[in-house]
Amino acid sequence: MAKLRENEQKTLLALERLSGRGPVDQLVNVSGLAHAAVMRAALSLTTKKLVRTHERKQTAIALTKEGSYHAKKGLPERRLINSLIKLGGEASVDDVVEEAELEKKFLTIALGWLSRKGWVTIKKKERELSFNPTMRADLLGIDEKLLSLLAEKGSLIVEDLSQELQKAVSLLKKRRLVKVSKKTLRELELTDAGWDLAKKGIEIVEEVSQLTPDLIRTGRWRKAKLRRFDVTAPGPIIHPGKIHPAQQIIQRVREIFLEMGFAEIRGSIVETAFWNFDALFQPQDHPAREMMDTFYLAQPRKGKLPEKDVVDAVAKTHEDGWITGSRGWEYNWSPDEAKRLIMRTHTTAVTIRYLAEHKEPPVKVFSVDRVYRNEKLDYQHLAEFYQIEGIVMDKKVTLRDLMGTLKEFYLKLGLKKVQFWPSYFPYTEPSMQSTVYVPELKTWVELCGMGIFRPEVLAPLGIKYPVLAWGGGLERLIILKLGVEDIRLLYKNDLGWIRRTPVCQR
């Protein structure tokens, strides 16, 4: 007789009792073994050619929350038709709804189905319903039959249903009253060799799968039959905890700046328009300042401006250029507009505030933080997103230093090809935009805006040395590196995607 382990023997005998074939769940019941134990036994019995495994795909359905609600109360159209009949077969929509105590959110659906099922004629203008006696609304539809069957059984296997009920499945699925899940049904079947062995009668010897202190102390371990472990058998997939892929890249960006000798700064998320716009020489009628683009706080509406000297200098600079040699924007600067509180739209608000308090060179700081814009969400836009931002102030820094710094930064992120383009920002001159080549996608992608702060920005703050500045969205870079197409995936907590993404992102 072939040597079988205890669980294999039990599984074999259970199969014999089920006349040679049965689904795993049933074998679990009959054998008294755990599900995993039956599965393991099935695997080794299959390699010994004593059983065959059959797999069948099944579609299971169950009620959604709305589905269970309608199962209890009746479909909305059923509730309306019952009430209509109660009211004599002809009544206004309002009366029927009141009689049925139908929730407002179901009304459109209910009316739609009433007419689709032909139970009533609806006079749109008068909002009147009249019962259509030819349609036998008194008979339960297949959708209703399926609904109550599901309510009774909890879940059903679509493949086991009659053809008629299967049609109802797609009806209810479209109405989002049922949810569908795919299942695999595993069945085991004895082979001829398996039958022979089972019939000969197998004697079950106790097997020990764990060496307990008791077995050792009593010396029984000497006689016990130790279960062999198949260390090559597939085990369950384990999903260890890990840092979110986007956070890993954000951490890496921080590390890179630190490696390059920058210090991290952070600032307030709620900021005055003064620091977000005015101090950056962005005129008060600039389109970016409109509500359509910027979130303004409703409460409190206004914040504090800095000391008078700075405010006056900024005002003058906007109005006529002050001592900067510029003509300014030639309008009346309003302190009230500058006091308005907003959600910062870029982290340049953080670096400029820092500069105002650190006027002596050298300054080399960065920030990686969230900013807010009134954007319509889609696959490439978020209303709350990350920006990376940096400034370098020193006695003799130039545009070359700026390009070199960015090149180095990108290189450390694995992006080797960088191009710089002329661009425009109200606060820098010259201004540039950088694009990097992403080999995986074979395309160039725009990343950071940058430039050297204009005198109109520096003079009011009393800064005497050149300041290199750059900033840009981070999510674009993250999705490129992760190969994600929809930016929203980063914040959806899609466990499947998070699990599939490698533990380590560099």
Contact set with ligand PHE (CB under 6 A): 346, 348, 425, 428, 449-451, 469-472
Question: What is the smallest separation between the CB atom of 321 and ligand PHE, expressed in angstroms?
Answer: 21
Question: What is the smallest separation between the CB atom of 465 and ligand PHE, expressed in angstroms?
Answer: 16
CA torsion 419-250-453-464 (nearest 10°) is -130
Question: What is the smallest separation between the CB atom of 358 and ligand PHE, expressed in angstroms?
Answer: 17
Q: How far apart are CA 17 and CA 135, in angstroms?
A: 52
CB of 312 or CB of 394, closer to ligand PHE: 394
Question: What is the smallest separation between the CB atom of 176 and ligand PHE, expressed in angstroms?
Answer: 41
Nearest to 410 by CA among 244, 251, 253: 253
CB of 233 or CB of 263, closer to ligand PHE: 263
CB of 44 or CB of 348, closer to ligand PHE: 348
Nearest to 448 by CA among 490, 499, 391: 391
Cβ atoms of 485 and 479 within 8 Å: the answer is yes
CB of 175 or CB of 476, closer to ligand PHE: 476
Instruction: For residue 23, say if its preceding peptide bond is cis, omega within 30 degrees of 0.
Output: no
CB of 37 or CB of 474, closer to ligand PHE: 474
CB of 318 or CB of 346, closer to ligand PHE: 346
Strand partners, 128: 92, 123
Question: What is the smallest separation between the CB atom of 376 and ligand PHE, expressed in angstroms?
Answer: 18
CB of 78 or CB of 346, closer to ligand PHE: 346
Token reading at 331: 């309008």
What is the number of H-type helices and E-type strands within the chain? 20, 18
Question: What is the smallest separation between the CB atom of 399 and ligand PHE, expressed in angstroms?
Answer: 12
Q: How far apart are CA 262 and CA 389, in angstroms?
A: 11
CB of 119 or CB of 425, closer to ligand PHE: 425
CB of 281 or CB of 425, closer to ligand PHE: 425
Please enumerate in sequence order all residues whose Cβ is within 8 A of that of 399, keeping only pairs 6 or more positions apart, or say none: 430, 432, 452, 468
Token reading at 255: 């590390």
Kindly list the strands in the beta sheet with 178-190, ordered across the sheet, starting from the edge strand earlier in the chain.
21-23, 178-190, 51-63, 155-157
Question: What is the smallest separation between the CB atom of 297 and ligand PHE, expressed in angstroms?
Answer: 20
Please enumerate in sequence order all residues whose Cβ is within 8 A of that of 470, keeping only pairs 6 or more positions apart, or say none: 389, 390, 391, 402, 405, 406, 434, 448, 449, 450, 451
Q: How far apart are CA 316 and CA 318, in angstroms?
A: 5
Q: How far apart are CA 283 and CA 289, in angstroms?
A: 9
Question: What is the smallest separation between the CB atom of 424 and ligand PHE, expressed in angstroms?
Answer: 10
Q: Which residue has the tokens 């009433």?
A: 114
CB of 2 or CB of 263, closer to ligand PHE: 263
Please enumerate in sequence order all residues whose Cβ is within 8 A of that of 367, keeping only pairs 6 or more positions apart, or say none: 264, 265, 266, 267, 347, 350, 351, 387, 388, 389, 390
Kindly list the strands in the beta sheet with 363-372, ordered across the sheet, starting from the edge strand earlier in the chain.
263-264, 363-372, 384-393, 467-473, 443-453, 428-438, 418-425
CB of 150 or CB of 349, closer to ligand PHE: 349
Strands 178-190 and 21-23: antiparallel
Question: What is the smallest separation between the CB atom of 332 and ligand PHE, expressed in angstroms?
Answer: 26
Question: What is the smallest separation between the CB atom of 450 and ligand PHE, expressed in angstroms?
Answer: 5
Question: What is the smallest separation between the CB atom of 469 and ligand PHE, expressed in angstroms?
Answer: 4
Q: Which residue has the tokens 């520096």?
A: 458
Token reading at 361: 């060179």
CB of 254 or CB of 476, closer to ligand PHE: 476
Strands 363-372 and 443-453: unpaired
Question: What is the smallest separation between the CB atom of 471 and ligand PHE, expressed in angstroms?
Answer: 3
